[in-house]
Every structure is written in C-alpha cells, then in structure tokens.
Structure 1
C-alpha cells in the first residue's frame, strides 16, 4: 500500500466544464474519454500536497483520495515555478512516504509538465489523480 499518483489526458469534450472529480468509470466511458496515462509517481507526497491545494482552490471538498483535479496552463506554470523554487512542502500521511524528495520525482514531474503542455496545445484536458 502507498500513495500512487497519476497524470493523464482525456478528451476535452468528455471533461467539459469540470475542474475536479472527473473520472470515467466504465470501459466504455474510458474509451469515449480517450483516457491516456502520461505520468506516474509513487509516494511523492510533496507533489500530492500541492495538487490537493489546487483541488481545494478549484472547489474540491471531498477527501483527496481517488479524486481528480484538472490542470490548466497557468496551473502548470505555477507547479513549474514551485519546483524551481523548491517550494513543494512535505505532506504527511500514513501511506505517503518520508520527507525526502528524490531526483527522479523531480524529473518525472518536469516530463509531466512538458507532456501536459503539449496535450493542452493539442486540445486535450489534463488531470492528476491519486490513490492511497
């Protein structure tokens, strides 16, 4: 068990107008949404905490487990700035791992940001999701 985190894209039409809690549940919905994974992290609680704050800013009210948050271009820019300025804070949780930030987590996040920007430029919607 632990904090598993995902970045993915989907059809903007499927996600139309929704900023949080968008996840196709059936295989048919997944195909319609054109759901595509673009990133995976394990126990990078610093990023998870940042995403939870974004979820709350966008109106999310549920426990931030198996909940999604949509990322727009300005969100990606804020995330990139937070990475560059070492502003991601440790987010404690029983399944969340320790306080250390590993270089591979930073690299995966940079790759995610680049892939997400490309996806947005191609008219797709970008989301973060997690499960713990």
Structure 2
C-alpha cells in the first residue's frame, strides 16, 4: 500500500479525448480510437514531492478531484520543460500524505531521465499522461 505513480504514452493520433485533466484514455473508457491503451514507460514508488508537483499542475489545468487519486494528467512539452527546471533547481514542493513515504533527493537522476524520455516521445508524436494511485 502506498503512492504508486506512472507515466504513460500513446500516439497522439489515437487519442480522441483531448482533455488536459481526467481524460478517458485508460481502461477502455472510450477516449481513444479502437480502444487503444497508453503504454506505461515510467514508474515511481513513494515520491511525494514529484506527485505534489503534478497535483499543482492538475489543479492549474482545472482538475477538480481534491485527492488527485486515480486521475489522469496530460503533460505537454511546456509542462515537461517546467518540470525539468524545477527538478534541476530543487523546487519540487514538499508533499506529505497517508502512505506517501518521502522524497529524499535521490530520485533526481531518475526524474531527469523521465523528463528526457517524455520529451523524446512528445517529439515522436505521443501524448504523455501521469497517473497515480494511493
């Protein structure tokens, strides 16, 4: 039990639900062509500061779930570039939650690897989604 966090990608031309938050692109909910599912390409376990950053972005983009649990968040190039700067400047927000664990700074290299993979996938015509379950 705890904070499980995932990044998924899907070819942009397969997505019909272009919502920035809570897009119905997972589990056959009808937001993609022919039931296509996003592919998982990155996983974190108990990295609350990154989750807090994503939660802030979710709310900025109009997300309404106060728990930010089981919600999708579309990440575009601008979002990824902002995240990269915040990681490099150690500006991920201190975040706490039940069973979240804690971020200790050792995640930085993996976080930057995620950003670079996501930017590469965006360049290749994919949409990137963040999703967490706790």
* Same fold per superposition (TM over 0.5): yes
Residues 9, 40 of structure 2: 8 Å contact kept: yes
In structure 2, the CA distance between the partners of 1:32 and 1:107, relative to structure 1 (3 Å rule), is farther
Look up the match of 1:96.
100
SS in 2 for 1:2: coil
Unaligned runs of 5+ in 2: none
Alpha-carbon deviations, 1:27-73, whole Å to 9, x = none? 99697434111111011000000000000111100130000111111
Q: Alignment RMSD, CA only? A: 2.1
In the alignment, the residues of structure 2 paired with residue 114 and residue 31 of structure 1 have an alpha-carbon distance, to the nearest angstrom, of 29
SS in 2 for 1:125: strand
Look up the match of 1:4.
4
Look up the match of 2:125.
123
Give the counterpart of 1:77 among 81, 105, 109: 81
In the alignment, the residues of structure 2 paired with residue 80 and residue 59 of structure 1 have an alpha-carbon distance, to the nearest angstrom, of 22
Residues 28, 37 of structure 2: 8 Å contact kept: no
Normalising to structure 2: TM-score of the pair? 0.87
In structure 2, the CA distance between the partners of 1:86 and 1:31, relative to structure 1 (3 Å rule), is farther
Normalising to structure 1: TM-score of the pair? 0.88
Aligned-residue offset at 1:25:
1.4
Alpha-carbon deviations, 1:78-126, whole Å to 9, x = none? 101001111112211011113x4242x2122111111111111111100
